[in-house]
Structure formats: C-alpha cells, structure tokens
Amino acid sequence: MQAFLEPGSVAVIFPAAGTSRRFGGPQSKIFASLAGHPVWWHAAQRLRAFAEVGQIVIAIHPDDRPRWESEFSEAVSTLGIDLVDGGSERYESVLQAIARIDCASYIAVHDAARPLVPNADLQRLFVAAASHDAVMLATPVRGTIKRANVESIVQTTVDRSRLWEAQTPQLFRRQLLVDAYARWRGWPVTDDASLVERAGGKVHLVEGSPLNLKITSPDDLLLAEAIIQSR
Ligand SMILES: Nc1ccn([C@@H]2O[C@H](COP(=O)(O)OP(=O)(O)OP(=O)(O)O)[C@@H](O)[C@H]2O)c(=O)n1
Ligand SMILES: C[C@](O)(CO)[C@H](O)COP(=O)(O)O
C-alpha cells in the first residue's frame, strides 16, 4: 500500500527576494512576463494545485513589497499566500519564511524563478516524501563536465556518471530542516539540501525534467516561453 502525505501537510516556501544580477533588466526576473503571467505566478500556481500543499509563504525583496501589495494583491489572495521580507542571501530568505510557517509536517522550498516544474515531477516528489525525510528534484548531468583553472584552461574532465544538477522543490520533514538551519554556522549555501547533508541527513534524489529550468538569464526566459508555446 503506497504511503501518501496528508492534505495540507506541506508548507511551501518560495524564495523570491533575489536581485536578478545575472538576468539584468529594470525589475526582478520573477516579475518578468511569461505567457501573460509573472514568472513567480506560474511556480506558485503549480504548487497550489496539489492537495498536499497547505500554507504558502513567499519571501519577497522589501523594495518589492508595494508592488506585491498592489499589482499582485489579488493573485496573492487567490493563491492563499503569506508574504515575508527576505534577506540578502537565499538562505536568509528561507529562514525568514520558516519563521512564518504555522503548522506543517513538511516544508518544501521551491525557487520562485522555476516556473515550469512539471506536475508529474511534483507528484513523484510528494510520493517519495512519504518514505524519506528529505527529497529533492534533480536532473542527471547530460553534457561533458570540465574543471578549469582561473585562466579557463581545462584541468580535468569530470566523471559525470554520478553527477546530478540540483533543482527545486526540495522537501523535508519540518523539524529536519529547522534543525539543519539551527546547526548552520554561516558557510556558503546555495540550496537547502546542502544544510541537511552537512547535518548528516540523507537526501534522496528524485529525477526531474530539464523542463524545470531556473530563470537565471534572459535566454532562460526565451526557453521557458518556447516550452509553454509548445504545449
Ligand atoms: N537573497 C535572495 C537571493 C535569491 N532568492 C531567490 O532564490 C531563487 C534562486 O536564486 P537565483 O536564481 O540566484 O536568483 P537571484 O539571486 O535573484 O539571481 P542572481 O544570482 O543572478 O542575482 C530566486 O527565486 C531568488 O529570488 C531569495 O529569495 N533571496
Ligand atoms: C536552489 C537551486 O535552484 C538548486 O539548483 C540553486 O542552488 C539556486 O542557486 P542560485 O545561486 O541561487 O541560482
């Protein structure tokens, strides 16, 4: 008998307080229009569609609050979203959002900049979370990986056979993530799973689609638009 997560048992955090340095442009990339909706809306709408999802908290850049509370107020209300001010680093934004979570057995963290996470991937992630305390989407590295020196001269070709590129959502039993953050002592982190790993937790990879791309540069937005138009 397959185990499942209780409806509403997963609180979802969307880090959305970044400054989009690599994207450039006049506004945060999460506000960029994608098929007529902002990038963040696609991400939030896809997670909200799952019964397992309860509270949703978006960590926003403080400078963006007026826009969230005006232009996006209806969508925020419709999707049942709580807004908190994020921090200067992604992990700080996640910490701020964790503090806002009311009652949830699990916490999922999903980049607001990943608008196209496939429903099938989310379904498999939720199923896996019923059997493991920490799970995350990731996609096997497909290209050849080179390690270079500071002069961009290849030093070695990396064995890619067991290399995966981390994606989100990354989903944890709530206390596991809270404890991992409590043990964190300031080393740089770019994802939440690495904190759980450092705390000795086993993080189980769930293969995800390359379609779950993160909007990092303007080209990624073009790719995302093409993906949506191809549906
Ligand atoms: N201090 C930060 C930094 C990032 N993020 C969020 O974390 C996700 C992944 O981060 P990234 O793609 O690196 O976004 P930016 O930090 O905005 O990008 P850049 O590094 O190019 O500035 C994004 O949804 C971003 O808004 C956040 O909430 N708080
Ligand atoms: C969390 C993440 O999307 C997993 O790949 C990635 O680590 C975010 O990194 P970034 O430096 O904030 O883009």
Does 1 fall in a domain? no
Distance 91 CA to ligand 1 centre (A): 10
Interface predicted TM-score (ipTM) over 0.90? yes
Counting the structural domains of the chain, the total is 1
Q: CATH number, domain at 113?
A: 3.90.550.10
In DSSP terms, 16 is beta-bridged to 60
- The pLDDT tens digits of the residues spanning 63-113 come to 999 999 999 999 999 999 999 999 999 999 999 999 999 999 999 999 999
Is the Cβ atom of 20 under 6 angstroms away from ligand 1?
Answer: yes
Does 210 fall in a domain? yes
Q: Whole-model pTM? A: 0.97
Cβ atoms of residues 210 and 117 within 8 Å: no
- For residue 117, what are the contacts with CB-CB under 8 A and spacing of at least 6? 43, 46, 47, 110, 137, 167, 168, 169, 208, 212
Q: Which ligand is nearest to the CA of 92?
A: 1
Q: Which ligand is nearest to the CA of 111?
A: 1
Section 179-189 average pLDDT: 90
Look at residue 188 in the predicted model and tell me its pLDDT: 85
Does 113 fall in a domain? yes
Q: Which residues of 56-94 are buried (b: 16+ CB within 10 A; e: fewer)?
A: bbbbbbeebeebbeeebeebbeebebbbbbbbeebbebb
Distance 26 CA to ligand 1 centre (A): 15
Does 2 fall in a domain? no
Does 5 fall in a domain? no
- Number of other CB atoms surrounding residue 154 within 10 Å: 9
Does 106 fall in a domain? yes
Does 4 fall in a domain? no
pLDDT band at residue 1 under the 50/70/90 scheme: low
Does 3 fall in a domain? no
Is the Cβ atom of 190 under 6 angstroms away from ligand 1?
Answer: no
Distance 19 CA to ligand 1 centre (A): 6
Decide if pLDDT at 3 tops 80.
no
The domain in which residue 63 lies consists of: 10-230
